Structure 1
Amino acid sequence: MWTIMVDVTSGLIATGVVLWRIWRLRMRHFCLLNLLSLLLPLLVGWHAQQTNQHEQQQIQELAGTVRTINLFVFPDQVVNTKAGVKGIGELANHQRISFHGRALKQATVLHTSDRLRLQVQGTISPVQSASNWGAFDGLGFARSLGVSGDLQVSEIQKIQRAPTSSLTGWLHRWRSWGIAQAKKMPRQLRNYVQSLLFGDRTADFRTSSTGIKKLNLIHLFSLAGMHVYVLLNLWMWLATVLHLRKETAEGGAMLLLPLYCGVAGGAIGLFRATLTVEQRYWMRRLRFSSGGMDYWALTLMLCLLLNPWAVAQLGFQLSFLLSFTMYHCRTAGNLQKTLILNLVSLPLLLYYFYEWHWLSLVANVIFVPIFTGFLFPLLLLNYGCQLLFQTTIWGTETLLQWFNQITNWLSVAPGSVSFGQPPGWTVILATGLIFILIEKWSWKRAIALIILVGCTFLMIHLPLTGEISFFDVGQGDSILVREPLNRSVTLIDTGGKPNFFAKEGQPTVHLAPTTTIPYLKSQGISRIDNVCLSHQDADHIGDLTSFLDEMTVKRVYIPWGMDQNQHFMQKMRPYLHKTQLISVKAGQTIPETRLQVLHPFRPGLGENQDSMVLYGKFGGQRFLFTGDLPQADELEILRHYPQLRVDVLKLGHHGSKTSSAASFIRAIAPQIGIISAGRKNRYGHPNQETLVTMRQNHVHLLNTQTVGMIRYRYGGFLGQSNFITKWKDTQHGSQSNNHTN
């Protein structure tokens, strides 16, 4: 809240200074125009905020109970796979919500292009912000789409057609038909056509094209200005062939472009380019004199007036930033322009994606002209052949497969830099310095930019504070222990879904790529010194392979005897050439850390009773991490360590009554207890008996169910330590984001 107040105050002060300067220059009319252009977006933004609060209140009134709901959806807004169904629809009051549930058995009805009415049973809840720092901002994205709630569908009772004659209905109908035709094409062609022509980037596309994202080529697959100008040129060529008059051809293009924008899903880049082209055309027809920056500024204002929430999205920011850059370097050559665009977009991309590959510069220089001048027209030609002749051009699928293989290979080549997430003010300052350099080169300005980037990199990679962070991984455990200056980075458990020992051929779902790994990358962490696995359960080690695949892991520690567990070793064996597997028992320490091993006392196969228990002192606070250790083994630890006292206890077995014996809690006397458990989990964790035990012993509880990720930081210039949580405590209604010790 304090940050928002500072940002608003500084923005108002800066705006006031600019308006005062314009007034002093006796440009009174210009000053009034600027004031109006400022007030109008503010009023629209205030109205959007009030509307959102009203919709959230309506969702809160419906939340918590299973209800029968009529949901109106268009087939192009529904994704139905073996894993389940998800999409965006409208309630009877036209309020937009997202929904997800089991896969539709009546999937054949999705082949229609008509709007559908689904009568479903489910539970509505407000859209939540990300529960872990560094994770994707689902709440902001939902707001930009006008979505105010989320529906968990438990049963679909009835599906009926509900046709509509509105323009929106027709656009969805055409889009559904177009996507259905694209699905008949070979795999890579289908993925590319759906993404490029209809803004429908499928899960299959994201899986098979990871290199495109890592090399910062994903902008080629975002509906933007490139598509508009290629399609315009294609239309004008067709008009020439048909001997249409120039005025007729241009007028037809201006009518068709907004329709295509709607059919393509209304992506912000495409919407921006369409508005700009329309302005140029109508201004020329009305004989008004305007420049490129006038079109850019008016387009920005219109987009903000139509959807103020979109400004927080990367697509919006990148689209307007790059179009602004294109105007300023319009006289540069293609090679120089490509390098400038990559340089300008880099601070923003680092803020959202945390890493950069130096080959992205080479890839953009090589692939951008190939893609725009050859591949995109080839894809259009293939789609036309599919519509007219139900076939595609021979060799195109193979060519796209080669393109994917080359980009995927380049993305894993040495040269990736894990930069981390720079602060917002450095992103703005660095972008401003880059524009100053573009205007006029100077070694002083270049050195200033290099110093800013270097200091930011050191600030991220050599932090003065250490941390112990408890990730929200649902029903599971994953804890980061990081020393100041990143002297050592240790992960205690990895979290995961209960499919680590899935049968051969059964798909494995990993949560770490969207929960823990983004946070580590945001902190500039690409190397983990130690991964300590408490025991074999999938909710503790199921995502181990994600870390071994995506990051450098020096050592993996397991409890004594777990290397005799054949199921575990089968998963570990492919990685033993690049990481060291070490078995530990009570009395040992984890090298280069402050962590001492208090359990196990005897070898086992990694069951709950074999859990590795770790103890360490950080920032004056004594921590104990107990895995899923049962009560009997907790008491055995007390017999071996009768003087054991702790300040912070990670409760065993997610707060289950099988752990946290009352006598054990009284003996170690923790002040704070951490519970890591899934929301609405089927086990009922934390159990009521455990909560009573904690209350009786005056233990303050922090639960990832209600506060999301929990982070303890210590050290720094003042040597202070404090607990910070991602959310406020929704269960007790108290603000839990700052517990200072």
Structure 2
Amino acid sequence: MWIFLLSAIFLACHSYLRWKKRGSVQGIVYAVTFSVIFVLGICHMQNAIKSHQAVESLLEDGEKAAVWGTVSKKEEGAKSTKIYLKHCYLRVEEKQLPCRQILVYLNTDVSVGNIIYVNGTVKTLEPARNEGNFDEKNFYESQGTDFKFYGENVQFISRDTDRFAEFLYQKKREVIQLYQKTMGAETAGVLSTMVLGDRQLLEPEIKSLYQKTGISHILAISGLHVSIIGMGFYKMLQKQRVPLLLRSTLSAVAILVFAVLSGAGVSTKRAVLMFLLLLLGGVIGRSYDSLTGLALAAIFLLWENPFVYAYTGFILSFLAVLGVDASVILLKSMDIQKGIREQICVSGCIQAFTIPVIAYYYFELPTYVIFINLLILPTTGVVLFLGIFGGLLGLLYPVLGFLPLQGAKGMLLLYQSLCRLFLKLPGAVWTTGKPRLQRLIFYYVVLAAILTWLWYGKKPQRKLKTELNNRLENHRLKRIALTLFYLGLLTFSMQKEGKRFQIQVLDVGQGDGIYIESDAGTEIFVDGGSVDVSEVGKYRIQPFLKSHGVKEVDYWFVSHCDADHCNGLMELLEADVPIKHLVFSKYVLRDEAQEELVALAKRKGCQVLYLEEGECFRDASVRIQAMYPSEKSVEGERNADSLVLLLEHEAFRGLLTGDIGQEQEKKFIEAYGNMKIDWYKAAHHGSKTSNSKEFLEVLQPKLATISCGRNNSYGHPGKEAVEHMQDVGAEIFQTTECGQISITQEDGKVCVRRLLKEKGVLGETDEKK
């Protein structure tokens, strides 16, 4: 609901300024008009939410169903073609509902405009399973897609083809192939993304490189492309003395064709809409107001798809334009002349508006972003021009496109070299963690207040008749003061919550991964691997650590060296994530897997420690003691010799059991007898060959967590194991249903929160014991 609150505040402020500028009558008309639009927009969104929920209620992952609709767009993939259906319907059994858009994977050749009926399997959209993870559900819903569908057979209801759209699609494929032949796969992937909005060839390493240095915005089709293509074409016609109406119409057609060719993404639509308003203003003799154009573009996009407000690209696109508008105010109020200072001011204002949102969604910021943008942005237009010009020439005759495309390739390689150079500088990336939303709202409110003060404070300054040197000195002091104030505001807004005791049981699929933070700020991790989630370290563990602002892990405990407990850890070591200490049991099975992990850790500068039974780690807040195995109990088998840890914080006690079985549980009982605990990490992912009734009766846990994969082939958790936990009164939380599970202490009570609320799970997200 915060987006509606901010929109209402913006509407009220904008109406007030309009009233001050135009007078009471126009101000009232403006306020009433946009208030009506605002209310209608909320009603429209509520209807869209209800329709979407009706579709969701019919969806079951893996269920057989049928869909039909009109092919609006298609994208070639490595294994199948992505088809987007509009004016589409879902049929499950006897029920039928209209949908907004369906993403269908097909191996059958279809054309844009065809109406098809497809039988196949539903694939529901996945929410983020852990904090910081990619939220597929949120992303696709913000793009207007209700669900994915894997097609098996296709029937053509109509073979009518949108010849123009299909022609553009085919030409787009030809240009991409030309890029590949002429430039090589690496730079062709970047150029096809920049020019055509096609990301199929974009290598993940290059995408990550651009993101870390803060220039990933050049990959998005946005205002820069529109200004080069639209305004370039307009000015060319203007030089040829083409009449205003005709050149505006031709420019509008050219930019609309480009929008369709590049996939018509959200930022593209925003830029095209604002450009069309600019052309319209010129035709009817009215001046163009960027803020009004931005507001009308937002109304159009939100009406078309009310869920788009949650899309990061939508937010950043609008904030970047606001940053450009803010730079105009700053340039005038500070008397900043054209040149390098003007470029720094514009780039700085764009960053000021976008940095908090980037931190909120990506959890890290490029420190030298202003400087690298100053080096790269002035030449980005040249790269785009060479890519477009070379592509067009290459369509006529491939040899003609060689020189322009080689020029673009050289500049893109230079970009990559600059990015790698900046990343080698100290503190190149600032890991912020996820800032609190309240602080971000405060940040933007203060930023708006500063700009308002500068805007209304500039007029009296113009009337002052002082010496030029005094004016320059005053502006210099004002710039310094404003810069220092802004840096303080940014630091306050990015500040993460203070250190506190917390346990986060991550959903890593069929595996284990547990994060522990102490009040003293010690960062601890236990295990970290999966056998059913690909690249679990890269896509689940590392993003979680970034979202919590974890720059390095102090102690990483490994219960044993099965892949489902350590392959994610190995990924992080390979990616140079700082880990100070790697901790094993003294009696860990030292096989090939363990030796490989130790060798990797030592290469990365990680100190390897071995714990004897009874030895412990402690700081001012927590104590972690090795409880098992001992010299007497060691068996020479990975699971059996799992490291068992006792975690203590004040009166709280938790037991992390690795993958021990019932025989090892008996030995544990013999060694320790009764041991009452609060939290029990279910042994061996809740296997029926572990978690014996006798063991749990000794421990008497108040809550238990089970980490396993959905529909896993091992049968985890076992029915008997779950019953044993229930029999001793433990509240059970399972990652397959809850996603990430958070355990904290509040007012002396143990508080458990689950990230997800799925079908079959109680609705409350807050459980206290």
CA spacing shift, 1:417–1:687, aligned 2, 3 Å = same
CA spacing shift, 1:537–1:417, aligned 2, 3 Å = same
- Residues 181-580 of structure 1: matches in 2 within 5 Å? 181-186=175-180, 187-202=185-200, 204-236=202-234, 239=237, 244-245=242-243, 247-330=245-328, 333-372=342-381, 374-391=382-399, 392-394=401-403, 395-396=406-407, 397-415=409-427, 416-434=429-447, 436-437=449-450, 440=454, 441=478, 448-460=485-497, 462-463=498-499, 465-486=500-521, 488-497=522-531, 509-548=534-573, 549-562=575-588, 564-577=590-603, 578-580=605-607
Q: Are the aligned partners of 2:16 and 2:27 in contact in 1 as well (CA < 8 Å)?
A: no
Write the letter of the residue equivalent to 1:253.
Answer: S
Query: Is 2:662 the partner of 1:635?
Result: no
For residues 546 and 444 of structure 1, the distance between their equivalents in structure 2, rounded to whole angstroms, comes to: 45
Q: CA deviation at 1:612?
A: 1.1
CA spacing shift, 1:299–1:7, aligned 2, 3 Å = closer
Q: Are the aligned partners of 1:650 and 1:675 in contact in 2 as well (CA < 8 Å)?
A: yes
For residues 640 and 192 of structure 2, the distance between their equivalents in structure 1, rounded to whole angstroms, comes to: 51
CA spacing shift, 1:596–1:39, aligned 2, 3 Å = farther
For residues 189 and 40 of structure 2, the distance between their equivalents in structure 1, rounded to whole angstroms, comes to: 41
Query: Is 2:152 the partner of 1:156?
Result: yes
1:677 is paired with a residue whose SS is: coil
CA spacing shift, 1:375–1:19, aligned 2, 3 Å = closer
For residues 81 and 181 of structure 1, the distance between their equivalents in structure 2, rounded to whole angstroms, comes to: 18
For residues 454 and 398 of structure 1, the distance between their equivalents in structure 2, rounded to whole angstroms, comes to: 38
Q: CA deviation at 1:449?
A: 4.0
Gaps of 5+ in 1: 500-508
Q: CA deviation at 1:142?
A: 1.9
For residues 199 and 679 of structure 1, the distance between their equivalents in structure 2, rounded to whole angstroms, comes to: 35
Q: Are the aligned partners of 2:683 and 2:690 in contact in 1 as well (CA < 8 Å)?
A: yes
Write the letter of the residue equivalent to 2:350.
Answer: L
Give the match for residue 504 of structure 1.
none
Write the letter of the residue equivalent to 2:35.
Answer: L
Q: CA deviation at 1:311?
A: 1.7
Give the match for residue 665 of structure 1.
696
- Could you report, residue by residue, the CA deviation over 1:586-612 in whole angstroms, capped at 9, with x for unpaired residues? 222235451111122245666111211
Taking only aligned residues, the RMSD between alpha carbons, in angstroms, comes to 3.4
Given candidates 77, 80, 90, the residue that maps to 2:77 is: 80
2:714 is paired with a residue whose SS is: coil
For residues 327 and 10 of structure 2, the distance between their equivalents in structure 1, rounded to whole angstroms, comes to: 27
CA spacing shift, 1:17–1:273, aligned 2, 3 Å = closer
Deviates most, 239-248 or 308-317: 239-248
- Residues 102-141 of structure 1: matches in 2 within 5 Å? 106=107, 109=109, 115=114, 117=116, 119-125=118-124, 127-141=125-139
Give the match for residue 731 of structure 2.
700
Write the letter of the residue equivalent to 1:658.
Answer: T
Q: CA deviation at 1:35?
A: 3.3
Deviates most, 703-712 or 419-428: 419-428
Give the match for residue 502 of structure 1.
none
Give the match for residue 583 of structure 1.
610
CA spacing shift, 1:352–1:729, aligned 2, 3 Å = closer
Gaps of 5+ in 2: 91-97, 337-341, 455-477
Write the letter of the residue equivalent to 1:510.
Answer: E
CA spacing shift, 1:458–1:672, aligned 2, 3 Å = same
For residues 26 and 340 of structure 1, the distance between their equivalents in structure 2, rounded to whole angstroms, comes to: 30
Write the letter of the residue equivalent to 2:504.
Answer: S
Write the letter of the residue equivalent to 1:689.
Answer: E
- Could you report, residue by residue, the CA deviation over 1:175-195 in whole angstroms, capped at 9, with x for unpaired residues? 354034313423134212321
Give the match for residue 599 of structure 1.
628
- Could you report, residue by residue, the CA deviation over 1:407-454 in whole angstroms, capped at 9, with x for unpaired residues? 134224321221222112322332344455566447766555444444
CA spacing shift, 1:645–1:721, aligned 2, 3 Å = closer
Query: Is 2:767 the partner of 1:739?
Result: yes
Given candidates 37, 58, 63, the residue that maps to 1:61 is: 58
Write the letter of the residue equivalent to 1:122.
Answer: T
For residues 604 and 79 of structure 1, the distance between their equivalents in structure 2, rounded to whole angstroms, comes to: 53
1:657 is paired with a residue whose SS is: coil
For residues 9 and 294 of structure 2, the distance between their equivalents in structure 1, rounded to whole angstroms, comes to: 25
Matched-pair identity in %: 18
Query: Is 2:756 the partner of 1:727?
Result: yes
Q: CA deviation at 1:209?
A: 3.4
Q: CA deviation at 1:206?
A: 2.9
Write the letter of the residue equivalent to 1:496.
Answer: S
1:135 is paired with a residue whose SS is: coil
For residues 532 and 737 of structure 1, the distance between their equivalents in structure 2, rounded to whole angstroms, comes to: 29
CA spacing shift, 1:43–1:679, aligned 2, 3 Å = farther
Q: CA deviation at 1:213?
A: 0.6
Give the match for residue 657 of structure 2.
626
Given candidates 36, 39, 42, the residue that maps to 1:39 is: 36
TM (norm. structure 2) is: 0.84
Write the letter of the residue equivalent to 2:32.
Answer: L
Q: Are the aligned partners of 1:493 and 1:533 in contact in 2 as well (CA < 8 Å)?
A: yes
Q: CA deviation at 1:533?
A: 1.3
For residues 291 and 17 of structure 1, the distance between their equivalents in structure 2, rounded to whole angstroms, comes to: 16
Deviates most, 345-354 or 630-639: 345-354
Deviates most, 251-260 or 432-441: 432-441
Q: CA deviation at 1:369?
A: 0.7
Q: Are the aligned partners of 2:323 and 2:352 in contact in 1 as well (CA < 8 Å)?
A: no
For residues 57 and 608 of structure 1, the distance between their equivalents in structure 2, rounded to whole angstroms, comes to: 46
Query: Is 2:139 the partner of 1:147?
Result: no
Give the match for residue 505 of structure 1.
none
Give the match for residue 474 of structure 2.
none
- Could you report, residue by residue, the CA deviation over 1:294-342 in whole angstroms, capped at 9, with x for unpaired residues? 3233223323322222122221121111212212323562232122222
Write the letter of the residue equivalent to 2:168.
Answer: W
Q: CA deviation at 1:208?
A: 2.7
Write the letter of the residue equivalent to 2:147.
Answer: G
Write the letter of the residue equivalent to 2:563.
Answer: A
For residues 445 and 335 of structure 1, the distance between their equivalents in structure 2, rounded to whole angstroms, comes to: 15
